[in-house]
Amino acid sequence: SLREAAEGKQREYEDRMHEMQMEMERAQRELMEAQDTRRRLEQQLRELQEAKRALEDKER
């Protein structure tokens, strides 16, 4: 019937919306992890640069 078809379409729509929501949340988590990794790497780089400068100063 028309009603069953409409309900099926509604379910499909809701399922698709749910999938898109889950995908968006996963992408946001991955972005946050990537930003966190970048911050950690930048901090390590700063520490390495400081250590290098300290060594170079000692050698003078």
Alpha helices in 1-60 (DSSP H): 2-59
* pTM greater than the 0.75 cutoff: no
Range of the domain at 40: 1-60
What is the spatial distance between Cα 9 and Cα 3, in angstroms, rounded to a whole number? 10
Residue 53: C-alpha distances to residues 14, 16, 19, 43 (Å)? 58, 55, 51, 15
What is the spatial distance between Cα 31 and Cα 26, in angstroms, rounded to a whole number? 9
Q: How many domains does the chain have?
A: 1
pLDDT at 60: 86
Ordered per-residue pLDDT tens for the chain, 60 residues:
999 999 999 999 999 999 999 999 999 999 999 999 999 999 999 999 999 999 999 998
